[in-house]
Amino acid sequence: MESVESQQISIGQILTILRKHIGLIFASAFIMTLLAAFMTFFVMTPKYSATTQILVNRKLSEDMAGAQYQQAQADVQMISTYKDIITSPTVLKSVNTKLEGQPGYKGDVDDLKESLAVNSQQNSQVFSITAKSTDPNTAAKMANETATTFKSKVVKIMSINNVSIVSKATADDKPVSPRTKLNLVAGLVIGLLIGIGFAFLRELSDRTVTSEEFLTDELGLKGLGIISEINERDIRRKIAPKLNAPMAEDEGESRMRRRV
């Protein structure tokens, strides 16, 4: 079985590689940050959100006041069922009809379902409906229409009147996406990682011998000598005076002959 030699890279070697390719790493980080900024400001469409809150609470008569706690727990458990009703075609089709023509609204039930989020906290009788749209006013109307339609239809579906709207959604001009700072930081980090990856890939794929120590220490070879690299311009500078000297002597002799 052939033995496999594993090459270990020390921290010093890693730092040396990073310093050697620092330009490549910075260039990669700069390009990816610019790309993230371009996508954030010029490609991604800003989206706005609006939230309305709904309370699930059935009022009991005075002679059933002792069962109030059990009824509250039952209302909490009903919220999961109410979530499914809100996102059902029965509710969304009616909401879709009321939202047609609103700015930023595509007029599709599937898109409406994806734009809605129903959230609740544990052991709470209040849950919220959050709507997102490219227009803040449309987002608020989307959430309010969904809550109002659900409240009117749940009475017929469940034969229970225990739903009331706690707070209506209002338009917010501050977009919730895209998140500019997060996108720029993500672009910077991704660019650095790509640059570091390219630096190590370039270093590992480089088979050029750059020092005598690599031959003697790494490969175990003996150095017989060093051939220095001479620039072509230096060679021409050194040869040119020698070539011009005989030509000057010949020109001098020819002049003397002419005079004689």
Q: Examine the pLDDT at 123 and tell me if it is beyond 60.
A: yes
Whole-Å CA distances, 104 to 45, 54, 113, 145, 147: 11, 25, 15, 16, 20
Cα–Cα distance between 11 and 14 in angstroms, integer?
5
Look at phi and psi of residue 225 and say left if phi exceeds 0, alpha if psi is from -120 to 50, else beta.
left
pLDDT value at residue 220: 65
Per DSSP, the three-state class of 74 is: helix
Pull the structure tokens for residue 120: 């609740």
Rounded to two decimals, what is the model's pTM?
0.67
- pLDDT number for residue 198: 93
60 contact partners, CB below 8 Å, separation of at least 6: 67, 68, 71
pLDDT band at residue 6 using 50, 70 and 90 as cut-offs? very low
Q: Return d(Cα 57, Cα 69) in angstroms, integer.
A: 11
How distant is the alpha carbon of residue 169 from its chain centre? 30
pLDDT at 195: 94
At 56, list the tokens. Answer: 């699930």
The residue with greater pLDDT, 249 or 59, is: 59
Determine the distance from the C-alpha atom of residue 116 to the mean position of all C-alpha atoms in its chain, rounded to a whole number. 23
DSSP 152-170: HHHHHHHS---EEEEE---
Vertex 69, ends 63 and 72: CA angle to 5°?
110
| Whole-angstrom distance, CA of residue 197 vs CA of residue 130 | 41
For 29-50, the pLDDT digits (tens) are 999 999 999 999 999 999 999 9
Spatial separation of the C-alpha atoms in residues 256 and 260, rounded to whole Å: 6
Domains of the chain: 11-43+178-205 (no CATH), 48-167 (3.30.1890), 213-252 (no CATH)
- Which pLDDT score is estimated for 215? 63
Residue with tokens 């009809």: 97
More confident residue, 146 or 155: 146
Query: Taking residues 55-70, what's their average pLDDT?
Result: 65
Q: Say what the pLDDT of residue 8 is.
A: 56
> How many Å apart are CA 38 and CA 44, to the nearest integer?
9
Q: Which two tokens stand for residue 151?
A: 């409240």
pLDDT (0 to 100) of residue 1: 42
Average pLDDT score over the chain = 82
Q: Is 9 helix (H, G, I), strand (E, B) or coil?
A: coil
Say if strands 163-167 and 126-133 run parallel, antiparallel, or are unpaired.
unpaired
| Cβ atoms of residues 138 and 47 within 8 Å | no
Q: What is the pLDDT of residues 173-188, one digit of tens each?
A: 999 999 999 999 999 9
Structure tokens given for 193: 């990682």
CA angle 238/242/245 to nearest 5° reads 145
Closest CA to 134 of 168, 169, 106: 106
Q: How many Cβ atoms from other residues are within 10 Å of residue 191's Cβ?
A: 22
